[in-house]
Amino acid sequence: MYSPKIVKIKPNSETYGIIVLFSNGITKEVDMLQKLNEELYFDIKDKNRFEQAQIDSGGYGVSWNDDVDISEFELWNIGCEIDYKW
């Protein structure tokens, strides 16, 4: 299934949300709060670490380190479209 690549992100450690701009021009807000209960995401409960989110090469996901990441496909599917001025 097609999902656009990630162009830009803005993590917010106060809400554990990420605003994501996709290559098709659509911006979505992704609530990561529920993910923090999954073992894979325990490391990013630390607010400083959460803010260190980076776009993977080619826009195929967002990573915090070698062990913690989320794909562009999942971000696209769980995010809610918003109107955001970059």
Are the C-beta atoms of 73 and 62 separated by less than 8 Å?
Answer: no
The string of DSSP letters for 20-45 reads EEETTS-EEEEE-GGGGGSGGGGGGG
Distance CA 25, CA 6 (A): 10
Kindly state whether residue 1 falls inside one of the protein's structural domains: no
* Residue 13 domain boundaries: 6-82
Instruction: Write out pLDDT tens, residues 20-55.
Output: 999 999 999 999 999 999 999 999 999 999 999 999
Kindly state whether residue 16 falls inside one of the protein's structural domains: yes
- pLDDT, residue 1, reads 65
CATH number, position 20? 3.30.2020.40
Predicted TM-score of the model (pTM) = 0.94
Q: Which residues pair with 28 in a beta bridge?
A: 20, 81
pLDDT above 90 for 76 = yes
Percent helix, strand, coil in the chain, to 5, is 30, 35, 35
**What's the domain count of the chain?**
1
